[in-house]
Amino acid sequence: MKRRRVIYEGKAKILYEGTEPGTVIQYFKDDATAGNGAKKDTIEGKGVLNNRISEYLMTQLQGIGVPTHFVRRLNMREQLIKEVEIIPLEVVVRNVAAGSMSKRLGIEEGTPLPRSIIEYYYKNDSLNDPWVSEEHITAFGWASPQDLDDMVNLTIRVNDFLSGLFLGAGIKLVDFKLEFGRLWENDFMRIVLADEISPDNCRLWDVATNEKLDKDRFRRDLGGVVEAYSEVARRLGIMPESVQGENKGPVLVQ
């Protein structure tokens, strides 16, 4: 098989050159990191689940007219995406206080917020992704006021839609992180949703018990990471046929 060119390797994904111009292959690894790489581990099956969950959520969002980079899933660990120019921001939406917001502002985890709050972080590992304001973003040219406006509008739609979708599966969407890219089509540019949406970048709590079904299980050493991600996939009705049994031969289905 011809070796593919790696475009970029991140903490949880690898980007390979795509099969046609303007496309990229996004490969989901089993690696997990937290604290900007301070904590590392491999969680068998995580990549398969995130590929599948992200495919489902991106497809559902496209169904309501949210533009995304997603084209199609290729196999258990890979999806074809459109090549975009990534905007160097993490856009975080919060519905319930948790994580860094709870720590920074002294609000108890689990406290519902009076309204959804959007925060921005500058994507820069050597600076630990610092919190920034719209002023920084436009002054330093990371995004134009128009780009920001588009991102905020899309983020609000994504939050409203995903909050309802997860609630239907008995899951509370506490907070999540989005990334956006610029998609060039001839001389026109559109802001589209990029990266992935999975339990790696969402906080998902069981509605009845508040049990964590997301990456906090890894960050906080709670165990049962794959089980939690599988539970999310199962409740969304998209449990992949085989996660643990990947490449381990045929399985008798009765």
- Residue from 176, 180, 205, 218 that binds ligand UDP (CB under 6 A)? 176
Residue 202 lies near ligand UDP (rule: CB under 6 A) = yes
Instruction: Give the closest residue to 41 by CA, choosing from 219, 182, 246.
Output: 219
Binding mask 119-148 for ligand UDP (x = CB under 6 A): ----------x-------------------
**Binding of residue 99 to ligand UDP (CB under 6 A):** yes
Regarding 154 and contact with ligand UDP (CB under 6 A), the answer is no
- Four-CA torsion 93, 22, 77, 61, nearest 10 degrees: 40
Spatial separation of the C-alpha atoms in residues 145 and 143, rounded to whole Å: 7
* Backbone φ/ψ region at 52: left (φ over 0), alpha (ψ -120 to 50), beta: alpha
CB 238 within 8 A of CB 73: no
Please give the span between the terminal C-alpha atoms of the chain, in angstroms, as a whole number: 35
Helix 145-167 vs helix 46-63: crossing angle, to nearest 10: 110
Q: Is 52 in the site for ligand UDP (CB under 6 A)?
A: no
Smaller CB separation from ligand UDP, 157 or 219? 219
Say whether residue 215 binds ligand UDP (CB under 6 A). yes
Q: Is 100 in the site for ligand UDP (CB under 6 A)?
A: yes
- Does position 97 bind ligand UDP by CB under 6 A? no
Instruction: Give me the residues that bind ligand UDP (CB under 6 A), please.
Output: 90, 92, 98-101, 129, 175-177, 201-203, 215
